Structure 1
Amino acid sequence: MKPNPNAQTTDWIVVVENGTESWMNLQAAFGKLEPKIETVHASNGTTALSYLETCLLEQETLPRLILTNLYLPMREDGLRFLSALQDNASFCVLPVVVLSASDDPADRQEAHRRGASYRVIPTDPGKWDDFLRSIPLRWNEGAARK
């Protein structure tokens, strides 16, 4: 799950997504829109946290951004992951964007309460490019987690 040391990337992000189709859509869109950004996949919050902790132990650069599904596969799993990020002094400074199919205001509120931005993913795969265009722009501007 580590970024490729031979890759010619300027930055990298962690994508926490348990759904194969969403991961493939994200990876393809980022590859097309931001080819210098390497995407590293984790299928759940526990794996992502373990990886981030390994980065700290090995004094490797942390990702510039974390994109995560809220339902990993359950809502509580995603909320637990967001809380763990927020509670860690090294991880709470990382920008986090929750990408979810849910437009439930309670989901958005809980993500915001845990320091993450919240975006509803498009249902049409053809709209992923447009959807993701704003995320790197906000991150390159030094987006805050809220």
Structure 2
Amino acid sequence: MHDHYSGRSTVKQNFYKASILVVEDNPDHWMLIQEALGECLPEVQTVWVSTAKEAETYLADCLADQANLPKLMLLDLYLPDAGPSWTLIQKIKRPNSPYIRMPIVVFSYSNSQEDINELYRFGGTSYIVKPSTFDQWLAYFQSMRQYWWETVTLPGQNG
């Protein structure tokens, strides 16, 4: 009997050359995110940019250099306003975008139903309200690790 499922192979595939692109304009929030991600996902490289434009440039550079795209984007909705984030999401999720399969997790202090609805309308993957303490960040990234890296199968470079 041949076993077609192996949880280990999924985890290994998800971690292979894995990176997360974090788009966050607040350096203090970035420091919390970086430390919490380092504790919860030490196998994953974290790339930080502070604007939607820098995120676009980074993704384009990945394609130009034939480097692996991030497995996931963690995007602050307000940079400091939401306009650039909405534009970035729409560009990434437009038909025929080379980045369309990359999950976009938006986080914000806003729990506005309008923001949440817009994210899903534009093709974003999920929305979380930003944790307010370091322990909450750790709990969030532990959950993120379990779901995005150990449960689901993320798209491969050519997937």
TM-score range, shorter chain: 0.7 to 0.9
- Which residue of 1 is the match for residue 41 of structure 2? 34
Structure 1: give runs of 5+ residues left out of the alignment.
1-8
Question: CA shift at 1:138, angstroms?
Answer: 2.4
1:142 aligns with 2:150: no
Q: CA deviation at 1:84?
A: 1.3
> TM-score with structure 2 length normalisation?
0.80
Partner of 2:8: none
Which stretch shifts more, 16-25 or 120-129? Answer: 120-129
Quick one: which amino acid aligns to residue 112 of structure 1?
Y
Partner of 1:121: 130
- Asked whether the equivalents of residues 36 and 134 of structure 2 are also in contact (C-alpha less than 8 Å), the reply is no
Q: Which amino acid aligns with 2:67?
A: E
TM-score, length-scaled by structure 1? 0.86
Radius of gyration: which is bigger?
A: 2
Amino-acid identity (%):
32
Residue 143 of structure 1 and its aligned partner are, at CA, apart by 5.9
Structure scoring higher RCO (CA < 8 A, sep ≥ 6) equals: 2
Counterpart check, 1:110 vs 2:118:
yes
**Moved beyond 3 Å, runs of 4+:** none
Other structure's SS at 1:128 match: helix
Matching of residue 76 in structure 1 with residue 87 in structure 2? no
Structure 1 distance, partners of 2:154, 2:113, is 22
Return 5+ residue gaps in structure 2 as ranges.
1-15
